[in-house]
Amino acid sequence: MLQGFLESLVGTSIGTTVKTSSWIFQTLEALHFIGLATLIGGIAALDLRILGVAKRLPVAPLHKLLPLVFIGFGINLVTGVLFFLSDPLGYGVNPSFQLKMVFILLAGLNALWFELKLARHVDEWGSGVDASTHAKIVCGVSLFLWAGIITAGRLLPSFAALL
């Protein structure tokens, strides 16, 4: 069933363009890294502070950096979809790609959990105030998942070579 779905995505004109033009592919890759850095910057600053780093930083302004995270994620979503369309079958059956997608989904759910349950407290965690243990766990999970996403992404070609 997955095979059929993937096969139906092969051969789109945009996918073929990305696949065949090396300068387009390189540009998209560079953008993917820049998007990664932007996303990680916003997330890591918040996660690290909640975990206890640089505690005199008030949490609320760091939480307001979320637009950065969305910008980075947006860049990577677009470039990611373009990569995928250039080789749906190749990516689709690659275990590293599948893991990456699962981790992204989990990171999204984790972030949603933070927004629904913990974001209401960010104003309480001012300069010098320790965040709750609950928040620390969620932010630790966040860092772990994003490190996993970067790793799984980086190992994609290795798994492709094995298939």
Partner 1 sequence: MMLENLDLSQWVLGSIWGYPIFLTFHSLGLGLLVGLLLVIDLRVLGFAKPLPLSELRKLMPYVWFGFVLNAISGVVLFMADATKDFYSNSFRWKMLSILIGLVVAVTLNGTVLREDTKDTPPMAKILATVSLLSWVGAIVSGRLIAYLSQPF
Tell the residue number behind the tokens 């560079």, with chain if given: 30
| Count of beta carbons in the 10 Å neighbourhood of residue 2 | 10
Size of residue set near partner 1 by CB under 8 A: 40
**Footprint (CB under 8 A) of partner 1, residues 32-51:** 33-34, 36-45, 48
Residue 35: both structure tokens together: 């998007």
Determine if 163 is a binding residue for partner 1 (CB under 8 A): no
**CA atoms of 26 and 32, how far apart (whole Å):** 10
Give the nearest distance from C-beta 54 to partner 1 in angstroms. Answer: 3
Determine if 93 is a binding residue for partner 1 (CB under 8 A): no
Determine if 141 is a binding residue for partner 1 (CB under 8 A): no
**Of residues 10, 51, 68, 101, which one binds partner 1 by CB under 8 A?**
68
Determine if 147 is a binding residue for partner 1 (CB under 8 A): yes
**CA atoms of 48 and 12, how far apart (whole Å):** 42
**CA atoms of 41 and 53, how far apart (whole Å):** 14
Inter-residue contact 47 to 14 (CB < 8 Å) = no
Tell the residue number behind the tokens 């981790």, with chain if given: 103
**Of residues 22, 116, 133, 163, which one binds partner 1 by CB under 8 A?**
22
Give the nearest distance from C-beta 56 to partner 1 in angstroms. Answer: 5
**First CA to last CA distance, the chain:** 19
Residue 95: both structure tokens together: 């275990």
**Footprint (CB under 8 A) of partner 1, residues 108-127:** 127
Binding site for partner 1 (CB under 8 A): 22, 26, 29-30, 33-34, 36-45, 48, 53-54, 56-58, 60-62, 64-65, 68, 127, 146-147, 150-151, 153-155, 157-158, 161-162
